[in-house]
Amino acid sequence: MLPLISTNMTAAAACASSCLAQIMPAGQAQIQVALTISALLFTCGLVGFMSRRNMIVMFLCTELMFQGAALAFIAFGRQHMDTSGQVFVIFILTVAAAEAALALGLVVLLYRRRATLSAEAWGELGE
C-alpha cells in the first residue's frame, strides 16, 4: 500500500462539503412544477392545433408541443441527474428545425396556390 499524501487536509474538507453543495438532489416540488408546466405547454399546443385555422399558427402549435416534451426531458434528466435528457433535447431541436424548414416551404407553396392560409381551403384532402 502506497502512502497516501493528501496535499492539504483543510482543502480536502472544504472540497467534501462543497461537493455536496454543488449537486443538490432535485426537490419533488421542483420536478412536479416542471412537469406540470410541460403538461400545460403540450396541452396548449394540442388545443391550438385543433382549434386554429391558420396553417402557420397550427405549425407554431406543434412547436409548442415540442417545447412541452423538451421541458419534460430536461426535468426527468434533472431528477435522475443524467445528461441523456439534455442530449435528447438537442435531437428535438434538430427535428424541430427540419420540420420548420419543410413545413414552412410547404405552407408557402400552398399559399401560392389558393392565396389563403386557411387550412379549410384544403378540406377536400381529407375527403
Partner 1 sequence: MVPTDFYAACAVCALGFIMLMRASSGESIQARSRLKTAAVVVILGGVGWLFATCMRNDDLDASAILLAASGFVSVCGAAQVLSHPRPLFAALFFILIIVSGAAAYILLDASFMAFALVIVYAGAILITYMFVLMLAEHRTPGSEEAYDRFPREPIIAVLIGSALLAVLGSAIFGSAETSRDASVQSALASRDDWMSLNRMPRLLQAEVSLAAPGARLVAGETYAKSDASHLHVINGQPVVRVLLPGATQPSEVILPAGAMISNPRAVGLALVEDFPVSLELAGVILMMALFGAVLLARRQVEHAEDERREAARSGATVDAGNGSGGTI
Q: Looking at residues 30 to 69 of the shown chain, list those that interact with partner 1 (rule: CB under 8 A).
A: 30-37, 39-48, 50-54, 56-57, 59-61, 63-64, 67
CB of 50 to partner 1, least distance (A): 4
Rounded Cα–Cα distance for residues 104 and 83 (Å): 32
Element of type H or E holding 46: helix 28-51
d(CA 92, CA 97): 9
Per CB under 8 A, the list member of 10, 62, 69, 81 interacting with partner 1 is 81
Report which DSSP code applies to 81: T
Rounded to a whole number of angstroms, the minimum distance from the CB of residue 126 to partner 1 is 13
Establish if 14 lies at the interface with partner 1 (CB under 8 A).
yes
The binder of partner 1 chosen from 113, 124, 126, 127 (CB under 8 A): 113
Q: Is the dihedral of CA 53, 56, 60, 65 positive or negative?
A: positive
Q: How far is the CB of 124 from partner 1 (least distance, A)?
A: 11
